[in-house]
Structure formats: structure tokens, C-alpha cells
Structure 1
């Protein structure tokens, strides 16, 4: 599941952000500053628009908390998978005309305008109405199936989330290459990934392996050095590829029956 979402993040990020792959140069720190979220609706000047969205998000947060308390991690993962299939798969394409005609059950000009903007955006016209919104708020919209948000609004929120995720992945993988090339370690990379994971809402955490947090903590405590512990004559590993496997929650690393050796055989 998480691999599919990360692939969507990469594809959406490349298509929407137009960003280029970052590469690490030994001796040069590749870290980049992420843009500061501009809040709901980015540069929206209409305070009533922001207020309306803030109210919707508050209500969505209450529903999300109740859902997260009611469902198990496995059930949350299944729910997230169903959401992904609804908003991204061939099902979304097949029902696009229906989704494009969806109109919120409201007389609010603000809500109607935003839904229209989301539909235009998902058809390649105009800007994403949720551009710059914080990730936790985007998740509230994406996974809210109450009908408060239209399918196209949820799709637009998912795409913005994917765009931000892709930008973060580029940054953290470049930093992983820098760390590995200069120290032989990936400890700081693992810390960054753990912090990112812990900041996700439960419905997104559920899309990763059950032992994801525990395994990352183990690797951080291990502080493994791939240079000093490498077998004689063995080539240096591909740090970018290994980092990608961690970000994807690859089973070869997070299957307890095979991953206890970490990636010393990589």
C-alpha cells in the first residue's frame, strides 16, 4: 500500500512540481529549505473562505479522531487503500464525468466555488485550491468520506499531499547520500524518517509495516557504519536505493524474519 502511495507521490510530484532529482556531492550539504505552508487555501485573501474551510476541517478532525479510535491499524490500512483506489485508480478515471458533475449540497457560494475550482484543477485547469496547506489538514480532507468534500476536492488534496511528500523525499534521500558518502552511516537519515512517520496521522501510519517505527529506532540505536563493517572486497552499497526501500516500507527490510541483519548484505 505505502509503495503505491509513494509511487503516486513521485509521479504527482514530478508532474505537478516540475522538480528535478537531487544528487549528493561529497563535502557539500544538499539540504534545502522547504517552503513554509501558507495555511488553508494558500494565498486566499477572502477571510470568509478561510473561516469556512477552518470550520470544515475542525469537524473533519472530530470525525477522524472518532474513526481512528474505532478502527484497528489493519482496518485503517484497508480504509486508506479503499480511499486510494477511489481517488487514484482506474475507478476514478472511469467515473470522472460523475465526479466532475458533483456539487456540494449547500447554498454557500464559497463552498460551491471551491468545489468548482477543484474540478477544474483535476482536469488540468487552474491551481489546486489546497496548494500550500499543511499535510495534516490535507489528510483530513483526503480520508473524509462524510460527503463534506467532493471527490475532486479529496483528489486535489491527495495530489497536494503527494507533491509535498515527493519534495520531502527528494530532500531526505539527498541528505542520506550525503551522510553515507561522508560518514558511512544512515543514522541521521533514519532519524529524519522516524520524525516524519511520527508526525503522520494514524490513517497514514497504518499504511506502513507494523514494525516500521520499532525498526527505525533499532537502526538509530545501532548507528551502523557501512564502511567499517563492510566485507572485504565488497562494493559500497547504493545509498539512494536503500533509502528508497526504507521510505517505501520494503518487505525485504521490514519483514522480521529476514530484516534482523538490517541491510548489511545490501
Structure 2
């Protein structure tokens, strides 16, 4: 019993960081929590007195578990119904550099590229330690991170959006889209705006990305009719996966999140989560 308490005392302060690493590797809250719990079980069976740096040891353990998980996750994504989006994280702070578009870009990387990029560029881990974690030499690890950086460059925000301004846009987007004010909505959208909706086959959602101003506007005209008839209740306006957005409760009683990618003051990306399996952690 004392051994378990001792393990928890050294593990629990690191749990939030380990969960952040796992979530950014996997894009799933439930899977990240499972991986971290698995790491804790392994920590229970470890000779902890022989571990000089528990944080580094546990980060290595979590990363390797995630790499194993990604192998099966890739196969599942290939059969996923409609666009796949990461589980939404509704956060009070917007200091997270890993925004939703960046997480989608990470999906296009190999698991090792993803690990090298996240550990070094996002979490600030030295390359020697990253190399030890992913079991590659330092030169190969630097190459993996460099390739990843090239692939995700366009997904990283070019400038920081002031939080207050982002939330103003989110509030205005909710009001215009639910009231059917297409003039106000159209004024917010970029010419090349895109919309991605993840229903996972569990709730109605567009089966393919909706791309271009005219197509997005046509869809929202149809949605406005449904919102007017059945309603859509605003629950929260805040930061969702590093982007301004809002949480609503829809006519079917389920939550929905909408995250907005803003470029040059216009909405360039609309990311809507409707899959109830990915919203369970919000209840």
C-alpha cells in the first residue's frame, strides 16, 4: 500500500504534462488518459529508486506507448466515417501553440516524425533525450524533426490573434449563423474558407470537407433554417484546441463544438465536432 502511495506521490504531479504529451500524439482524450494510466501501472512495477529523472523516464514511457497506439489508430482512421477531427479541448487559456490545424497537419506525419516534432519543438526536450525516447540516433532524430517542421509549417499561425478579438469573432459567428443573418456571416468568411464536420457516423454531418465561400454559405443557409426551427443553445464561448470558438447544445440534446481558424481577420477554417463519443469528456 505504501509502495502504491509512494508511486502516486511521484507520478501525480507529472500526470497533467504526460496527458498533454499523449493527447497531442493521439488526438483523443480517452486514449491519452488510458496511455497515462498504463504508464502509471508500469511505474508501480518499476524500481523507482534507480530512476534518476522520473519526468524524463515517464515521458519516454508515454511516448513509446503512444507510438504503439498510433499503429492501430492509423488503420482505424482509414475506415472512419467522414472527416476526422481530434477530440475538442475547451480551455480557458490560449497559450497552447498546438492549434487544431496543426494537430490535423500532424496526422499526415509518420509516428516518429510526430514524436520528434512534438517533443523537441513543442515541449522543448533536447534532441539527445528525444533520440533516446524514440530509439533512434541523434542525427536521424534531427532529420525526423526537420521533415516534420517542413510538413507542418503552413499550419502554424503566422501571427498571434488577440484572445479578446478572437472571442468577439466567435460570438458574432454564433449570432449570425443561428439567426440566419447571411450578410453578417458572409462578411466574416475568407474567400477560400473551408468547413470540416466530424460526426463519426453517429450524428448527421457533412461526409466530406465543404470548401469555398459559396459552398460554405449555401450550407449555412440550410443550417440556419434548421437552427430557426429546432434551436441551438450557446453554452460557452472560449478557446477550443487553441482556436476561438464556442460550445452549443443542439436540438438532439447533445453538445457540439465549433472552432474558428482566423487569418487576416477572416474566418478561414470552421471545425465542427458532433461525434458524441468525442464529446463525452465534456459532460
Question: Would you say same fold, with TM above 0.5?
Answer: no
Normalised by the size of structure 2, how large is the TM-score?
A: 0.28
TM score, norm. by length of structure 1: 0.30
Q: Which is richer in strand?
A: 2
